Amino acid sequence: MKKHILFLSILPVVLSLSCKDKTKPPAKIESISDVKDLAQNAQNNMKESTNRWQERKAKGDTLALPYKDLEAYLPEISGYSRDGGAKGSQMSGFGIGGWSEAEQAYVNGDKKVSIKIFDYNSSQQAFMGMTAMFSMGFSSEDDTKKQSPADLGVKGVAAYETIYKTVKKSEMVLVAGDRFIINIESNGQGDEDFIKSVAKSISLTELASK
């Protein structure tokens, strides 16, 4: 239950950022024109998300995948072995529909990787701005970490990565098809190329097309 409450806790952030651009945000807002461009891009992106949902709804696809089906998307990682079996669950209620989730831990000596996949298809209205949140183009850097968008070259997938400087650790959050949220965490190997390779080992194109 704790992790579900934590998941719900991001809702205010999601909703507050849902009007951000997910494709071409201005580097800086320097004029009224920049504000207008941002607003127009936000409107276009929200319309695109709504259209995708309407297409799924028309086909009767309004529910999250069963968690056992979601587990099938947990990949093998080169050089790593699975640490136990996959775990999954489904939730509904809270007044926002429901979702399913699946997760897998991997190990390679002292190195560890975890992958979690959420399907929020039946909570579409509550999470409509999720893709925008993770692809608005902002970045930050300090003495401990660097955070920035990550281009995986997959249509319909937005990604945001965190590379730590003082420890061998990296994280990536992806949104695929305005529906699936994927959390990847690597401990013991903080290489940027590595976490991208882990992300690409997932069937992102297939998830983004659902």
> What is the reported pLDDT for 86?
97
Q: How many of the other CB atoms lie within 10 Å of CB of 20?
A: 19
Q: Where are the domains of the chain?
A: 2-208
Which one, of 158, 125, 160, lies nearest residue 23 by Cα?
158
> What is the reported pLDDT for 120?
85
Which stretches of the chain score pLDDT less than 70? 1-62, 93-97, 122-137
Cα separation of the two ends of the chain? 28
For 77-126, how does the pLDDT look when each residue is reduced to its tens digit (9 = 90+)? 999 999 999 999 988 766 556 789 999 999 999 999 999 999 987 666 65
Is the distance from CB of 87 to CB of 103 less than 8 angstroms?
Answer: yes
Tokens of 122: 């039946």
> What is the reported pLDDT for 19?
33
Q: Is the pTM of this model over 0.95?
A: no
β-strands 81-82, 180-187 pairing: unpaired
Residues 123, 74: Cα–Cα separation, whole Å: 22
> What is the reported pLDDT for 14?
37
> What is the reported pLDDT for 91?
82
